[in-house]
């Protein structure tokens, strides 16, 4: 495990496994790099260099009071790529991490980036607006902020249910997986977790998506209760030139079991193509 220090003095923790073409993973809110452990091991065992960082304010990275915004997240990701001198990298982002990946390319380009994978990602915009009627109403995110502010521990336990689709008939997600979600969530700083709600819900990534000029795989479950597919993947696929859209019927936001296996297969195929 390694660390680097950003231009504003924040320590960022990252994992760096294996050798080969770099594949850099960005995690969702309010988790950390551990959320990608299965994929990190998979790609490292398949001949790639697997890298994942804890977003500032999350996991083992520093918890600054300032800088919990999408532009800074994106700059931190770019600094990770530069500090490790990565070339021809593949960026993989889940949920908020997908927004981080897209904004990083929007701000810093694709000189060092060869491909992009967006899984259950928040772009182009989660918030309902007159121009985005498929989005979720502001009250949804206001409630999340209030729950994070008042009793985030209980909220995270409840959130794991819809995150993994445990409230759906036939769900096989384990209690251990849901407990791991809670543990990672509690490692996020209270300030960072609160601030990030506005960032993943209100940031408009439309122009960033239009700047993607590398092969892009957009993958999403059609029963995602956290980031509804109609407001995200379906729109992103039209904004990114020549993007490939993969929809997993019945899949929730957090993939486990057969859904995760299907994504892993698609990920390896995309990496090797």
CA distance 254 to 63: 25
Please say whether the beta carbons of 119 and 254 come within 8 A.
Answer: no
Taking 80 as the threshold, does the pLDDT of residue 18 lie above it?
Answer: yes
Place of tokens 């700059």: 75
Please say whether the beta carbons of 48 and 12 come within 8 A.
Answer: no
DSSP character string of 8-69: TS-EEEEEEESSSSEEEEEPPTT--GGGGHHHHHHHHHTT-EEEEEPPTTSTTS---SS--S
110-141 pLDDT tens trace: 999 999 999 999 999 999 999 999 999 999 99
Run of H or E residues at 185: helix 175-186
Q: Which two tokens stand for residue 155?
A: 């909220």
Fold of the CATH domain 2-272 = Rossmann fold (3.40.50)
Length in residues, the chain? 273
CA distance 98 to 27: 8
Full-prediction pTM beyond 0.95? yes
Phi first, then psi, for residue 16 (nearest 5°) are -145, 100
29-64 pLDDT tens trace: 999 999 999 999 999 999 999 999 999 999 999 999
Average pLDDT over residues 79-100: 98
Q: Which two tokens stand for residue 133?
A: 């009627």
Run of H or E residues at 117: strand 113-119
Classify the C-alpha dihedral 48-38-6-201 as positive or negative. Answer: positive
63-76 CB burial, b ≥16 within 10 A, e <16: bbeebbbbebbbbb
- CB neighbours of residue 44 within 10 Å: 19
Taking 80 as the threshold, does the pLDDT of residue 146 lie above it?
Answer: yes
Chain mean position to CA 250: 20
* Domain extent listing, the chain: 2-272
Average pLDDT, rounded, for the chain:
98
169-199 pLDDT tens trace: 999 999 999 999 999 999 999 999 999 999 9
Closest CA to 38 of 92, 100, 78, 113: 92
Q: Please, what is the angle between helix 138-163 and helix 175-186, to 10°?
A: 140
pLDDT for 120 equals: 98
Taking 90 as the threshold, does the pLDDT of residue 248 lie above it?
Answer: yes
Residue 88 region, left (φ>0) first, then alpha (ψ -120 to 50), else beta? left
Please say whether the beta carbons of 194 and 212 come within 8 A.
Answer: no
Q: Please give the positions annotated as active site.
A: 95, 224, 253
Please say whether the beta carbons of 129 and 119 come within 8 A.
Answer: no
pLDDT for 1 equals: 75
């Amino acid at each position: 495990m390694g660390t680097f220090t950003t231009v504003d003095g924040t320590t960022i923790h990252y994992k760096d496994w294996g050798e080969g073409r770099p594949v850099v993973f960005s995690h969702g809110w309010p988790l950390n790099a551990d959320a990608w452990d299965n994929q990190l091991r998979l790609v490292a065992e398949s001949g790639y260099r697997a890298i994942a960082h804890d977003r500032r304010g999350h996991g083992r990275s520093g918890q600054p009071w300032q800088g919990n915004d999408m532009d800074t997240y994106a700059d931190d990701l770019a600094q990770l790529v530069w500090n490790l001198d990565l070339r021809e990298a593949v960026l993989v982002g889940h949920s908020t991490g997908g927004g981080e990946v897209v904004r990083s390319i929007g701000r810093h380009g694709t000189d060092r980036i060869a491909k992009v994978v967006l899984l259950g990602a928040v772009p182009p915009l989660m918030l309902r607006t007159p121009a985005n009627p498929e989005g979720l109403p502001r009250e949804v995110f206001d409630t999340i902020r209030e729950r994070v502010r008042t009793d985030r521990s209980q909220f995270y336990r409840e959130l794991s249910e819809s995150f993994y689709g445990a409230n759906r008939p036939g769900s096989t997600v384990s209690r251990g997986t849901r407990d791991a979600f809670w543990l990672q969530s509690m490692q996020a700083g209270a300030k960072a977790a609160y601030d990030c709600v506005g960032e993943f819900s209100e940031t408009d990534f439309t122009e960033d998506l239009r700047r993607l000029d590398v092969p892009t795989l957009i993958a999403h479950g059609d029963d995602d209760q956290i980031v509804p597919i109609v407001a995200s993947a379906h729109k992103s696929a039209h904004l990114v030139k020549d993007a490939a859209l993969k929809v997993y019927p019945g899949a929730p936001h957090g993939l486990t079991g057969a859904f995760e296996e299907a994504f892993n297969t698609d990920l390896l195929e995309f990496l090797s193509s």
